[in-house]
Structure 1
Amino acid sequence: MIEELRFGGVSVPAHAFFVGLGVVLASVVFVLEARRRGALREESLVAVTGALVGGAVGMRLSGWAEHLDPALNPGIVEAWMFGARSILGGLTGAYVGVLVAKRLIGYRERTGDLFAPAVAIGMAVGRLGCFLTEAPGRPTALPWGVHAPATVPECPGCLAGQAMHPSFLYEVVFQLAAFGALLWARGRVDRPGELFTLYLGAYAVFRFLVEFTRANETVWLDLTRPQWFLMPGLALLAVRLTYGYRKGFYDRLLPGRGERPLLTGVRLSPAGEEDR
């Protein structure tokens, strides 16, 4: 594991470096996408600010409600200073932050489609920092299993010298694939907000499944806290995506359901032959 990166005579925490780089890259992609869509205005930049502030608050305070028993959770100050840095908490906080920022300035246009590619590429880069500094995942016999030093905290597999799932690299691959898919799909999904909905649905399903390879503690029915956190959202997203599918919002993404050319000026005779 690599705790620090050195640039000349300067040492930088590896996790913070890649998270910061991911935020910068996501911001650049957001600006480029907003410019492409003609939506690069003061209001959209306020939405970005809301996302950054809300994401930071959500990520830092996510450990405040880690346990159902309030007595087991840290105080707000302790959670802010030393709590876990949950990606799901950060995403939730960012979403709320955008809603609050837009509400404050009376901005009603949907901005989710601008954020979707930016979030995907930012997450791909940020997860490299997690891979370099955190416990990889559960033990595995697969040939690409990785080993980590016994000094990595909260990692029984590290102490035992076992090969483990590179679970954070799985997410890097998913986010890069999602970024490419979003760029491909953005010209085929015209309804505002649907691109972001598709990304959220895909990521929620992926994150639920990849948790089976993560080193997170299981709390009930062999499921982790992130999985229990995701289940209500998965149900809501399933309903929302089903609605969009039935309304034809995604027809241009699906083979056989895209727009078909209409025949004009053609009349069939009773025998079935074309009569022009």
Structure 2
Amino acid sequence: MTFPVWINLGFVKLHPHAVFETLAYFIGFRVYLYTRSKDKIPIVQGMWVIVGAIMGAAVGSKLLYWFEDPRLTLENWNSYTYLMEGKTIVGGLLGGLIGVEWTKKRIGYSRSTGDDMAVPLIVGMVIGRIGCFLTGLDDHTYGVATSWITGIDFGDGVLRHPTQMYEIAFLLLLGAFLFHWKRKGSLPDGAIFQLFMTGYLLFRFVIDFIKPTPHFYLGLNNVQLACIAGLAYYAVLLSKWLVRPQRSHRKEL
């Protein structure tokens, strides 16, 4: 296999990243429309929440990317190409979260909307990571050099961790559990999305130790710092239905 793996349609060759990123948005949105709880939020308010998520994700993904290498960002602050070329999934998720919460306050909606987004997001992220893998070195989402059996040569003769494939495997496993719990309906409102974000942020915090990105922040990189902030936020939310009920139960005993 040679990278990038172009999508050959006969009359035109398409770059894998563009193809799979487009498919990720299209299929993820269709999955959301199909699986969302139609009795939970009216369609018009639901669309506004989606708009808020998209806008927040767009801003968050860029802002966090600029902190990957602050020195390089300062040197290229007036370069449109540099400022627009990169983005991060973690920044997109956290930015989307802020965008959704802000939008819900604006439209006067207080119920949780995240549960309906967890599975569609996983579907979209899996599809997108396929494009990242097929792009190879140009995508900068691979891992450090390794002697593991999973090592992949992306074209320069060096075996590297295929962290994109690790992420796909993790997301499929996480998605299977979340889909089961969502259908079972045994968790409180909002818990599915909280578990999704907590699981993914934990995964990214760990996996980024084997990514060749600059670790300027006391041995951590920009994504890991964002993961810590996100995990702290979700630890508070999870404690509301995990820890406190158990404490109440113990007091009764």
Q: Match of 1:127, as an amino acid?
A: R
3-state SS of 1:53 partner? helix
| Counterpart for residue 60 of structure 2 | 58
For structure 2, list consecutive stretches of 5 or more residues without a partner in the other structure.
Answer: none
3-state SS of 2:8 partner? strand
Over the aligned positions, Cα root-mean-square deviation in angstroms equals 2.6
Contact 1:53 1:97 in 2 (8 A): yes
| Counterpart for residue 6 of structure 2 | 4
Q: CA deviation at 1:104?
A: 2.8
Q: CA deviation at 1:138?
A: 0.7
Q: CA deviation at 1:23?
A: 1.2
Q: Match of 1:211, as an amino acid?
A: D
3-state SS of 1:75 partner? coil
1-side partners of 2:72 and 2:154: how far apart?
33
Q: How many percent of aligned residue pairs carry the same amino acid?
A: 29
Q: Deviations over 1:110-149 (max 9, x none)?
A: 1010111111111111111111222421111111100012
| Counterpart for residue 174 of structure 1 | 170
| Counterpart for residue 120 of structure 1 | 122
Give the aligned length: 240
2-side partners of 1:41 and 1:71: how far apart?
40
Q: Match of 1:42, as an amino acid?
A: V
| Counterpart for residue 86 of structure 2 | 84
1:229 aligns with 2:226: yes
Q: Match of 1:162, as an amino acid?
A: V
For structure 1, list consecutive stretches of 5 or more residues without a partner in the other structure.
Answer: 151-160, 250-256, 258-276
| Counterpart for residue 271 of structure 1 | none
| Counterpart for residue 148 of structure 1 | 154
2-side partners of 1:32 and 1:26: how far apart?
10
Aligned counterpart for 1:34 among listed residues 32, 36, 42: 36
1:14 aligns with 2:12: no
Larger mean CA deviation between 183-192 and 204-213 belongs to: 183-192
1-side partners of 2:193 and 2:88: how far apart?
21
Larger mean CA deviation between 20-29 and 100-109 belongs to: 100-109
2-side partners of 1:204 and 1:7: how far apart?
37
Aligned counterpart for 2:143 among listed residues 137, 146, 160: 137
Q: CA deviation at 1:95?
A: 1.6
Q: Which has the higher contact order (CA 8 A, sep 6+)?
A: 2
Q: CA deviation at 1:31?
A: 1.0
Q: Match of 2:203, as an amino acid?
A: F
CA separation of 1:146 and 1:71: change in aligned 2, threshold 3 A? closer
| Counterpart for residue 180 of structure 2 | 184
Contact 2:69 2:214 in 1 (8 A): no
More helix as a share of residues: 2
1-side partners of 2:82 and 2:219: how far apart?
28
Q: CA deviation at 1:76?
A: 7.3
CA separation of 1:7 and 1:97: change in aligned 2, threshold 3 A? farther
Give the TM-score normalised by the residue count of structure 1: 0.77
